[in-house]
Structure 1
Amino acid sequence: MAACAASFALPLAANAAPTVTAGGALTFGFAAEDDMNHSSTTGEAFIGVENNGFHGELWIGSLYQDPNDDAEIELSFGYGSEAGSLGYDISYIGYFLSDDGYQSSGIGFELSHDLTAGIAGALYFEVDTDTGDLTSELSLSGALSDKLELHGMIGAADADDNTYGEIGLAYGLSDTTALEVLYEDADDSEATISLILSFEIGLLGG
């Protein structure tokens, strides 16, 4: 779940008034190594608030055919800003399941930088506050056009001695919606190709 947390841990510009955003996504997963057979359908939603660099977010994602829980939940609080051309963010993230409750928590730290025009990179580290296990991720993203973006990520998690990665191509359908094709693979799971329809809207400020 750390990857999901990282995706929302980007530095935020300071604002005089709070901003509130909300969004969601519908994901259709297919087994890349099994004739592209349908493997899952999941949904997710989030709401976040930011003011002068301080931010908080509630994220909920459904679990596909899980025998014990219907959803996973992440609650995060943090602060992000910039030091020159370097962005930084530090967050506390709590992980929960809908039925089993609290699972773990982590302290996340991200550094981001615009490498060249249209290309950005980020390093993300998260330490499990219960076990001390470290998760590390390196991500890159680049704009191919006004509407098309290519991004990739590689990561490693001490908790299960797992390495993982993804590469995706996203197309902006409008100012608030996007369609993405995402390839994911990991040591502890089979590769998947997902079709993701997502949206994000501003509810206050911005």
Structure 2
Amino acid sequence: MRLIIASSVLALAVAAPGLAAAQELKFSGGATIASKYVADGIEQTKGIAVQPWIEGEINGFYFGAWMSNVDKALLGGDSVETDLYFGYRGEAGILSYDIGYTRYYYNKSGNCCGDLILSMGVAATDKLGLGLKIKHNPSTSTNPAKQSNLSVSADYAFTDQFSMGATYGKVTKGGMTYWSVGGSYAINDAFGIGLTWYDTDVSKGVAVLSLDYAFSFN
């Protein structure tokens, strides 16, 4: 699976100049600096996390890579996580959808696992958005007790710059429940700051402060 994804991403990158001229291939990238890396309420670092990313998109199809440092003591000796992903996203009226696949790699343990991810959203009003996300690990060999992850979310834009959101989720088949609430402020088109509280029913809550930077190649 690792070779399939890596080869697909490489093939698209090599073909990018020709595709861009014909069908408007767009690239974007950025990075987040966070006081901690938290995934579904569980801490992946004890301190600051640096998380760069890059993505290409063409007619709704996308592919990309995301990285972060992780803590060796928390992740069994691993210090870097790399996620490779691809999928398709689009909109139909007030509805939005995104179906994709993400594969997770670590610098020491290597190929970990992967998730099929389905996200759906609805613009309930001009300011209120509601979302549903389902993540499913089709491999029963890695962790058969925790295969699926279902979450719901709500976001409200008070202004063009300031918004708040909340998420509630559960890992099925004996897993945990997690939730978060936070706000974000867009400083300009490139920079934004956020403050989010993460919590679960199996660990202590933690507040995360983040600075985000994003840009487009086009």
TM-score (norm 1): 0.82
1:62-116 deviation digits (Å, cap 9, x = unpaired):
1135461111111111011223332111101111112111111111111111011
- Determine the structure 1 residue equivalent to 2:154: 140
Give SS of 2:48's match.
strand
Stretches (4+) displaced over 2 A:
64-67, 82-85
Shift of 1:158: 2.4
- Determine the structure 2 residue equivalent to 1:178: 192
Contact 1:94 1:104 in 2 (8 A): yes
Q: Does 1:165 align with 2:172?
A: no
Shift of 1:159: 6.3
- Determine the structure 2 residue equivalent to 1:87: 96
- Determine the structure 2 residue equivalent to 1:5: none
- Determine the structure 2 residue equivalent to 1:44: 51
One-letter code aligned to 1:194: V
1:93-152 deviation digits (Å, cap 9, x = unpaired):
111112111111111111111011111111010110102711111111111112111011
Q: Which has the higher contact order (CA 8 A, sep 6+)?
A: 1
- Determine the structure 1 residue equivalent to 2:15: none
Counterparts of residues 1-206 of structure 1 (less than 5 Å): 16-29=23-36, 39-66=46-73, 68-131=77-140, 133-158=147-172, 161-204=175-218
Contact 1:180 1:195 in 2 (8 A): yes
Structure 2: stretches of 5+ with no match in the other structure: 1-21, 37-45
One-letter code aligned to 1:73: T
Measured in 1, the distance between the counterparts of 2:48 and 2:91 equals: 37
1:40-77 deviation digits (Å, cap 9, x = unpaired):
21111110111000001100011135461111111111
1:8-43 deviation digits (Å, cap 9, x = unpaired):
xxxxxxx940111101111114xxxxxxxxx52111
The alignment covers a number of residue pairs equal to: 183
More helix by share: 2
More strand by share: 1
Contact 1:104 1:129 in 2 (8 A): no
Measured in 1, the distance between the counterparts of 2:165 and 2:23 equals: 31
Structure exhibiting the larger radius of gyration computed from Cα positions: 2
Contact 2:62 2:87 in 1 (8 A): yes
One-letter code aligned to 2:189: D
Contact 1:181 1:195 in 2 (8 A): yes
TM-score (norm 2): 0.78
Shift of 1:160: 5.8
Contact 1:41 1:64 in 2 (8 A): no
- Determine the structure 2 residue equivalent to 1:3: none
Give SS of 2:47's match.
strand
Structure 1: stretches of 5+ with no match in the other structure: 1-14, 30-38
Alignment RMSD: 2.1
Measured in 2, the distance between the counterparts of 1:159 and 1:46 equals: 32
One-letter code aligned to 1:96: Y
